[in-house]
Amino acid sequence: MARTVGIVGARGHTGAELIRLLAAHPGFELAAVSSRELDGQRVTEHVSGFHGELRYASLAHDELGSLGLDAWVLALPNGKSDACIASLAESGAEPVIVDLSADHRFDDDWYYGLPELTRDTYAGQRRIANPGCYASAMQLAVAPVRDLVEGPVQCFGVSGYSGAGTAPSDRNDADKLRDNLMPYALVDHLHEREVTRHLGTPVEFMPHVAPHFRGITLTANMHLRTPMERDAVEARYRERYRDEPLLRVTGDAPWVSRIAGHHGVEVGGFTLSADGRRLVVVATLDNLLKGAATQALQNLNLAFGYPEAEGIPLD
């Protein structure tokens, strides 16, 4: 029997991707999609590729529990998920909750779900914090050589403007972004702390937003304890990600234009300084997919015992 899932924050960029993925998944039934702005409107009018009669509903927090769903995905802005979580707990419902926001990525009571790096620590938790989009790219770019790295890793990131959500800001303003690359939060970005915590090595992160809609490119600069050769570095990455259906190791540096709309991550472009002590690696992923919705589906699959990549188009 299919497990029922609801989405709160379903109008947003990540919500739309989740709708597509969940609607096509054989083991899940998309049972409720909450949006205040689209209350009563048919999902088919807003999400291309979706078929069916489902309509958005503006659900009050205290209505969520009474729906008796098996899982809720919270795709709300940061700082908004706790009210839903508290209402669900008060109602006595104990659904699996996957939170796309940053609100529980630092909370040890929640499982931090970056499957390729953390699935071995999953112990049946029903509360899952979905990692950030840049944070996923950084961790996957560094993890295979983390034990060789000395000192902080510098990460230069560029995101498409869908990363800034739908609430109007400079970072999703088409006029301000035209012919532009917009630096922001150049120290102390939340993802800097998220990666430093979960990877266990300090990261210095410099994010930028660009005029394209979707996709992140992340360039990681690492200083190595002992000199390495390029082939050995690449072999390490290939070995680490050999059995990962969503990870592709490439010789050349991956391009963000080629990852948009795809569910996986590309890592490559391994480049060493002449003394073999400085390594640069590039990772790309689609912020709305592997950076958010696809990762949420991997986590739901894990929580309900389905194969982790079930319902995820692999290409």
Ligand X SMILES: NC(=O)C1=CN([C@@H]2O[C@H](COP(=O)(O)OP(=O)(O)OC[C@H]3O[C@@H](n4cnc5c(N)ncnc54)[C@H](OP(=O)(O)O)[C@@H]3O)[C@@H](O)[C@H]2O)C=CC1
Q: Residues 247, 241: contact at Cβ < 8 Å?
A: yes
CB 288 within 8 A of CB 132: no
Q: Does 249 bind ligand X2W (CB under 6 A)?
A: no
Binding segment (CB under 6 A) for ligand X2W, from list 81-89, 137-145, 159-167, 296-304: 159-167
Look at the chain and count its residues: 315
Name which of ligand X, ligand X2W, none residue 254 binds, using a CB cut-off of 5 to 8 Å depending on partner kind.
none
Binding residue for ligand X2W, selected from 11, 25, 61, 171, defined by CB under 6 A: 171
Q: Which residues bind ligand X (CB under 6 A)?
A: 9-15, 35-38, 75-78, 80, 100-101, 132-133, 162-163, 165-167, 287-288, 291-292
Cβ 285 vs Cβ 259: under 8 Å: yes
Asked if 207 interacts with ligand X2W (CB under 6 A), we say yes
Q: Does 75 bind ligand X2W (CB under 6 A)?
A: no
Tokens of 4: 């029922």
Residues 100 and 296: beta-carbon distance below 8 Å:
yes
With CB under 5 to 8 Å by kind, the binding choice for 80 among ligand X, ligand X2W, none is ligand X
Which one among 163, 254, 268, 311 touches ligand X2W, defined by CB under 6 A?
Answer: 163
Contacts of 305 (CB under 8 A, 6+ apart): none
16 sits near ligand X2W (criterion: CB under 6 A): no
In the chain the beta strands, taken as DSSP E runs, fall at 3-8, 28-34, 56-57, 71-74, 96-99, 111-112, 127-129, 153-159, 182-183, 203-209, 216-223, 247-250, 265-272, 278-285
Toward ligand X2W, which CB reaches closer, 54 or 260? 260
Q: Which residues contact 238 (CB under 8 A, 6 or more apart)?
A: 249
CA distance 67 to 123: 26
Task: Please say which residue, 65 or 237, places its beta carbon nearer to ligand X.
Answer: 65
Burial of 314 (0-12, 13-18, 19+ CB in 10 A): exposed
Report the distance separating Cα 241 and Cα 89, nearest Å.
38
Task: Collect all residues with Cβ–Cβ distance below 8 Å to 147 and sequence separation of at least 6.
Answer: none
Q: Which stretch binds ligand X2W (CB under 6 A): 51-59, 130-138, 267-275, 297-305?
A: 130-138
Out of ligand X2W, ligand X, none, what residue 10 binds, judged by CB under 5 to 8 A for its kind, is ligand X
Q: How far is the CB of 229 from ligand X (least distance, A)?
A: 35
Cβ at position 263, least distance to ligand X2W in Å: 16
Q: In whole angstroms, how close is the CB of 286 to ligand X2W at the nearest point?
A: 12
List, as one string, the DSSP characters of 23-68. Answer: HT-TTEEEEEEE-STTTT-BGGGTSTT--SS-BEE---HHHHGGG-
Among residues 106 and 278, whose Cβ is nearest to ligand X? 106
Nearer to ligand X2W, 279 or 300 (CB): 300
Smallest gap from Cβ 27 to ligand X, in A, equals: 23
Query: Is 155 an annotated catalytic residue?
Result: no
179-198 footprint of ligand X2W as x/- string (CB under 6 A): -----------xx-------
CA distance 255 to 193: 26
Closest C-alpha to 130, from 18, 242, 243: 18
Q: How far is the CB of 203 from ligand X2W (least distance, A)?
A: 14
Residues that bind ligand X2W (CB under 6 A): 101-102, 132-134, 159, 163-164, 171, 190-191, 207, 209
**Residues labelled as active-site residues:** 133
